[in-house]
A and B are shown apart, each in its own frame.
Chain A
Amino acid sequence: MTTLDPRIPEGPLAQKWTNFKAKAKLVNPANKRRLDIIIVGTGLGGASAAASLAEMGYNVKAFCYQDSPRRAHSIAAQGGINAAKNYPNDGDSIYRLFYDTIKGGDYRSREANVYRLAEVSNNIIDQCVAQGVPFAREYGGYLDNRSFGGAQVSRTFYARGQTGQQLLLGAYAGLSKMVSKGKVQLFTRRDMLDLVIVDGKARGIIVRNLVTGEIERHSAHAVVLASGGYGNVYYLSTYAMGANANPAWVAHRRGAFMANPSFVQIHPTCMPVHGEFQSKLTLMSESLRNDGRIWVPRKIEDARKLQEGKIKANDILEEDRDYYLERRYPAFGNLVPRDVASRAAKERCDAGFGVNETGLAVFLDFSDAIRRLGRKAIEEKYGNLFEMYQKINDEDPYETPMMIYPAIHYAMGGLWVDYSLMTTVPGLFAIGECNFSDHGANRLGASALMQGLADGYFVLPYTISDYLADQIQVPRFSNELPEFKAAEDGVRARLDRIMAIQGKQTVETFHKRLGRIMWDYCGMSRNEAGLTKALGMVQELQQEFWSDVKVPGGPGEFNAELEKAGRVAEFMELGELIIRDALNRRESCGGHFREESQTEEGEAKRDDDNFTYVAAWEYMPGNAPRMHKEPLQFEVVQLIQRNYK
C-alpha cells in the first residue's frame, strides 16, 4: 500500500484554484495546433471538454458509442443544475454551495476539488445562457431557481424537467461548431476496448466500429475519459441501456486506480419494478420533492389492503397517513439528501408498509400542492414528468399519488484523479461521472450536471494544458508502434475468445444474475456476511460466463450481442471490486450503509478515525487488487455527524 498524493496547490482553500491557474504552464497557439487529444464520451463532460479544447486550438478526436453525440445519457438528467449565483437573495454563496456539497457527500470528498467546483459553478450558468440554453425564467425575464435535496436555499437552475437535455444540446452545439471548423473529428458508434500506453504515458486507444466490426487504432498526446458511470453493473438502473464501464475498466487494467467503487447512488424517487421483462428503471426527478409529500399508511392493515389491491391511496384518511420523512427529519422534511430518503423508504417497506403489490413502493403525493398552487402551476413545473408517469403506469398522478421506490442512479466512485483530474496513468485524464472526485459518498441532486460541465468547460482546459506544455516537442504518434499492435491483438483475442465459447446462456441472463447479486448484497444496506457471500457468487458467475455464454453472429459485423457480452464481462470484474471496496469500508457513510455501523436510531454512523480516506484500488493481474490510500485532510470544514433533523 502506498499513500497517494492528490497534488493540491498551496494556499488557503479559496485561493488554491487561483494559485493553480496563475502558475500553470501554458501552451502557445502554434504549439496547440500540433497537439492531439482523444476524448471518449460526448456527454456533458466530454462534449464541453471537446468544444473548449478545440476552441483553444488543440486537435480533438471525440468518440461515443451512440449514433450521435447528442444522445449521451446526460440528456436524461431532469431536475437541474446547481450554482451559487444567489439570485433569489436567500443567503447562498460559493462557500455555502461548497459546504453543502461536502456535507452531502458525508465528508468523503476532497475539500479543494469541491471548493473549485463551487467556484466555477456560476461561470457554467453564464456559459450555458450565452449558448442559448432556455432555462426557466420568471415574468420579469430573469432566471428562476428551485430547491433540491440537501440544501436550504434555492440554487438550482432548470429547464422544465429536461435540464440535462438542454445543457447537453448546448454542449453538443459547441462541439458541432468545432466539427464544422475541422478542429474536432467525430467518431460515433465506437466502443473503446483498450488504452494504449507508450513509454509510460497514455497515447492512444483501440476502438471497435460498432457498424462494421472493424478494430481501429487512434493516437494522441493525451487521452480523456468522459465515459460516465458504472451503475449498469446492477442491471436495473436509471442508466441508458448502452452505458458501460469499458473505457474506465480497460484503463484500470492498464494501471489507472479505481477509487471508492462501492459508492453508488440509489435514487429515492424512481418508478417501482413492475415485472420480469423489465429492462430499466425510470427516474422521477428529485425536483418533485419540492412539492410532493412522501408517505405510507400509518396502519399495517391499510398497507396490506393496498398490497392486495382492495383499497386505493385516496381511500386512506389524512390522519392515517405517515409522512415519515417529515416525521423523522423535520428540518429538511421531504428534501433530505438522496441516501437518507432511500434508506427511509426501504425501512418502511421492510417493515411491511409498502403500498403496491410487491410491497416495494411508497407514495409521492401532490394533492396538497395542487390545492395550494392550482393544477396549472404544477403542470407548468412538472408537466412532462407527470405525463411520463402516466404513460408508464397507466395512472393519473394529478388524481392519485405516484408510487416510487429507490433505484441505482449514479456512481460517485470512479477512476482516481489528482487535483488536475489526471489518473495514475500520466496523460490519462478522467472527467465527469467517470472520475471519483467531487461527490464523496453521496451526490446531491443537481450536482452531476454542475460537475460534468465544470470539468469540461472550466477545469480540464487549464489542467490538461499544464500537462501538455511538456509535450510540445513530442511528434504525432504512429499507429504502427508495437504498443498499438499489441493492444489491438489483445482486443481481437478477447473478442475471439468470447465468440468461441458458444455455450447455452445468453449475455442477458448473466447480466440479470449479476444485477440481482449486487442489489441484494451490495445495495441499500450491506453487511460482512452478505458481501463475503456475494464475492464468491460473482467470481463463480464469471467462470460460468467464460465457459457458457452464447453470442451469435461474428466479430466482424454489426453485433449488438457481442457489444453487450464485452460490457457484461467488464461489469462482472467491476462488480467484484465494488464488493471488495464495500467489505473494506467497515463504516456507514453516504450511500454506503454497513449494518454493523449504525446509531441507535438506525442512522448511518461514520467512523472518521479509521476511514477518512479514499480507497484507490490497483489492478493486479491474476491476483486480488491492492488498495492505496489518499488520506482526506479537512482544513476548513469540521467533520460532524450529518443531521437533517
Chain B
Amino acid sequence: MDFKLKIWRQKSAAVKGRFETYKVSGITGGTSFLEMLDVLNEELIAKGEEPVAFDHDCREGICGTCSLYINGRPHGPDDRVCTCQLFMRRFKDGDTIIIEPFRARPFPVLRDLVVDRSSFDKIIQAGGFISASTGNAPDANAIPIPKRNADKAFDAAACIGCGACVAACKNASAMLFVSAKVSHFALLPQGKVEARERVQKMVAKMDELGFGNCTNTYACEAECPKGISVENIARMNREFLSAKLVTDK
C-alpha cells in the first residue's frame, strides 16, 4: 500500500512548527503504524534529510510512551489501542494520513512529534502513592479485600499515563488520569489512610500545572487506549468533596 503523510515538523519548543508532506510506498497491512514511520525515516536518512522524531518504546501497548495524534484522534482511528498497536491494514491504499503531536499546554513539544509529559510525574509526586516504606508491610493476606473492589482498583490502575485523555479533551483536562490514580487507592483499604490529603494535593497540582477543567464530554474515555472509565472522575469528585468537607471543619 502507498500513503501520503502530512507530518508536524518542529525543530524545538522555541521555534514554530509546520506540516510537511511525505510519501511512503510498499507498506504491508501487517506493518504497524510506527514501523511505517521507521520505513519513512530510513528513506529520509538515506536522502540526507532529518528523520521524524517520535516517542516510542515497548511497542506492545503498555509503556505509554507513544503519543501520536492521527487524523484528529489520539492513537488513531482504532478504539482502545495505543499507536504502537495500530496496524496499517486499518488504512486504505492511497490514504492521506495527518500526524501531529499530542497538543496541550502542559505537554510542550520538544521536537516534531515528541512532547514533554513530565507534568504527569509531578502530579503523582504530589500524592499519587501510599506511604508504605520498605519493611513496614504486614502479611499480604492480613487484610482480605473483596474481589469486586480489587478488580475495580485494578481497572483504574491499568492507566498507562500516555496522556491521550488530555490530548482528546478540548480543555486539556487531566481529570481521567488523576481520577484513575485516586480511585485505584481509594478503593483499597491500604489507600484509605491518606485518601483525603491525596485527592486534594493531586487536584491542586493538576490545576497549578495548567490542565483545564472537566466539562463532562467524555472524550477522554472514548480515546483512552486502556478503557479507563469516567466513573473514576465521579468517584474522585466525591472523594474531593468529602475531603474538603471533613478537612475544613
* Residues from chain B with Cβ under 8 Å of A143 in the complex: 140-141
Query: B59, B89, B153: which has the most chain A beta carbons within 10 Å?
Result: B59
Which A residues from 152 to 187 make CB contacts under 8 A with B? Answer: 159-160, 162, 165-166, 169, 172-174, 176-177, 179-180, 186
Give the contacting residue for B130; candidates A130, A242, A282, A388; CB below 8 A: A130
Instruction: For residue A269, give the distance in angstroms from its CB to the closest CB of chain B.
Output: 14
Q: Interface size on A (CB < 8 Å)?
A: 78
Q: A142 CA to B140 CA in the complex, in Å?
A: 9
Instruction: For residue A71, give the distance in angstroms from its CB to the closest CB of chain B.
Output: 4
> In the complex, which residue of chain B has the Cβ closest to the Cβ of A126?
B137
> In the complex, which residue of chain A has the Cβ closest to the Cβ of B116?
A67
Q: Is B22 an interface residue (CB 8 A)?
A: no
Instruction: For residue B5, give the distance in angstroms from its CB to the closest CB of chain A.
Output: 15
Q: A71 CA to B66 CA in the complex, in Å?
A: 11
A-side interface residues toward B, CB under 8 Å? 48, 51-52, 55, 66-71, 73, 75-76, 85, 87, 123, 125-132, 134-143, 159-160, 162, 165-166, 169, 172-174, 176-177, 179-180, 186, 188, 211, 238, 240-242, 274-275, 277-280, 282-283, 388, 391-392, 394, 457-458, 461, 506, 508, 550, 552-553, 557-558, 560-561
Q: Is B150 a contact of A135 with CB atoms below 8 Å? A: yes
Binds A, one of B44-52, B208-216, B234-242: B44-52
Q: A45 CA to B89 CA in the complex, in Å?
A: 38
Q: A142 CA to B118 CA in the complex, in Å?
A: 36
Give the contacting residue for A506; candidates B45, B124, B133; CB below 8 A: B45
B-side interface residues toward A, CB under 8 Å? 12, 27-28, 30-32, 34-36, 38-39, 42, 44-46, 48-51, 53, 55-65, 78, 81, 85, 87, 89, 110-111, 114, 116-118, 120-121, 124-141, 143-147, 150-151, 153-154, 157-158, 160-161, 184-185, 188, 190-191
Some 20 contacts from A to B, beta carbons below 8 A apart, are: A67-B118, A71-B64, A73-B63, A76-B63, A85-B141, A127-B137, A130-B137, A132-B130, A132-B188, A132-B191, A137-B146, A143-B140, A173-B124, A176-B124, A277-B36, A388-B85, A391-B61, A392-B85, A552-B50, A558-B12
Q: Is B134 a contact of A388 with CB atoms below 8 Å? A: no
Q: Is B65 a contact of A279 with CB atoms below 8 Å? A: no
Q: A141 CA to B145 CA in the complex, in Å?
A: 4
Q: Is B137 a contact of A129 with CB atoms below 8 Å? A: yes
Q: Is B140 a contact of A277 with CB atoms below 8 Å? A: no
Q: A558 CA to B55 CA in the complex, in Å?
A: 12
Q: Is B134 a contact of A129 with CB atoms below 8 Å? A: no
Q: A388-B61, A391-B87 are in contact. Are A162 and B28 (CB under 8 A)?
A: no
Instruction: For residue A342, give the distance in angstroms from its CB to the closest CB of chain B.
Output: 19
Give the contacting residue for A70; candidates B48, B78, B121; CB below 8 A: B121
Q: A132 CA to B188 CA in the complex, in Å?
A: 7
Q: A125 CA to B63 CA in the complex, in Å?
A: 23
Q: Is A66 a contact of B65 with CB atoms below 8 Å? A: yes
Q: A131 CA to B193 CA in the complex, in Å?
A: 12
Q: A87 CA to B190 CA in the complex, in Å?
A: 21
Give the contacting residue for A159; candidates B27, B87, B118, B154; CB below 8 A: B154
Instruction: For residue A510, give the distance in angstroms from its CB to the closest CB of chain B.
Output: 12
* Residues from chain B with Cβ under 8 Å of A240 in the complex: 57-59, 63
> In the complex, which residue of chain B has the Cβ closest to the Cβ of A283?
B60
Q: Is B60 a contact of A87 with CB atoms below 8 Å? A: no
Q: Is B58 a contact of A132 with CB atoms below 8 Å? A: no
Give the contacting residue for B153; candidates A132, A179, A392; CB below 8 A: A132
Q: A68 CA to B125 CA in the complex, in Å?
A: 12
Name the 10 nearest CB pairs between A and B, nearest first: A141-B144, A173-B129, A130-B137, A126-B137, A130-B132, A134-B154, A129-B140, A52-B134, A71-B63, A558-B111
Question: Secondary structure of the B side of the interface?
Answer: loop
Q: A73 CA to B58 CA in the complex, in Å?
A: 7
Q: A66 CA to B67 CA in the complex, in Å?
A: 13
Q: Is A69 a contact of B49 with CB atoms below 8 Å? A: no
Query: B34, B44, B45, B127: which has the most chain A beta carbons within 10 Å?
Result: B45
Q: A611 CA to B237 CA in the complex, in Å?
A: 63
Q: Is B157 a contact of A169 with CB atoms below 8 Å? A: yes
> In the complex, which residue of chain A has the Cβ closest to the Cβ of B88?
A277
Give the contacting residue for A458; candidates B126, B134, B140; CB below 8 A: B134
Give the contacting residue for A391; candidates B81, B111, B127, B157; CB below 8 A: B81
> In the complex, which residue of chain A has the Cβ closest to the Cβ of B81?
A391
Q: Is B134 a contact of A461 with CB atoms below 8 Å? A: yes
Q: Is A186 a contact of B121 with CB atoms below 8 Å? A: yes
Give the contacting residue for B141; candidates A87, A123, A277; CB below 8 A: A87
Instruction: For residue A457, give the distance in angstroms from its CB to the closest CB of chain B.
Output: 5
Q: Is B117 a contact of A67 with CB atoms below 8 Å? A: yes
Q: Is A70 a contact of B12 with CB atoms below 8 Å? A: no
> In the complex, which residue of chain B has the Cβ closest to the Cβ of A48?
B134
Give the contacting residue for A139; candidates B58, B135, B137, B147; CB below 8 A: B147
> In the complex, which residue of chain B has the Cβ closest to the Cβ of A87?
B141
* Residues from chain A with Cβ under 8 Å of B45 in the complex: 506, 550, 552, 561
Q: A265 CA to B44 CA in the complex, in Å?
A: 35
Instruction: For residue B132, give the distance in angstroms from its CB to the closest CB of chain A.
Output: 4
Q: Is B161 a contact of A51 with CB atoms below 8 Å? A: no
Instruction: For residue B53, give the distance in angstroms from its CB to the closest CB of chain A.
Output: 6
Q: A556 CA to B36 CA in the complex, in Å?
A: 27
Q: A67-B118, A240-B58 are in contact. Are A131 and B111 (CB under 8 A)?
A: no
Q: Is A211 a contact of B28 with CB atoms below 8 Å? A: no
Q: Is B134 a contact of A127 with CB atoms below 8 Å? A: yes
Q: A140 CA to B51 CA in the complex, in Å?
A: 55
Q: Is A241 a contact of B56 with CB atoms below 8 Å? A: yes
Q: A391 CA to B145 CA in the complex, in Å?
A: 33
Q: A274 CA to B29 CA in the complex, in Å?
A: 11
Q: A173 CA to B184 CA in the complex, in Å?
A: 12
Instruction: For residue B14, give the distance in angstroms from its CB to the closest CB of chain A.
Output: 11
* Residues from chain A with Cβ under 8 Å of B130 in the complex: 130-132, 173
Q: Is B38 a contact of A277 with CB atoms below 8 Å? A: yes
Q: Is B190 a contact of A132 with CB atoms below 8 Å? A: yes
Q: A131 CA to B134 CA in the complex, in Å?
A: 9
* Residues from chain B with Cβ under 8 Å of A129 in the complex: 137, 140, 143, 190
Q: A166 CA to B160 CA in the complex, in Å?
A: 10
Give the contacting residue for A279; candidates B59, B136, B138; CB below 8 A: B59
* Residues from chain B with Cβ under 8 Å of A179 in the complex: 121, 125
Q: Is A277 a contact of B31 with CB atoms below 8 Å? A: yes
Give the contacting residue for A275; candidates B30, B137, B151; CB below 8 A: B30
* Residues from chain B with Cβ under 8 Å of A134 in the complex: 150-151, 153-154, 157, 184, 188
* Residues from chain A with Cβ under 8 Å of B188 in the complex: 132, 134
Instruction: For residue B24, give the distance in angstroms from its CB to the closest CB of chain A.
Output: 10
Q: A130-B190, A134-B188, A173-B129 are in contact. Are A67 and B61 (CB under 8 A)?
A: no
Q: A67-B65, A176-B128, A388-B61 are in contact. Are A137 and B150 (CB under 8 A)?
A: yes
Q: A172 CA to B121 CA in the complex, in Å?
A: 10
> In the complex, which residue of chain A has the Cβ closest to the Cβ of B130?
A132
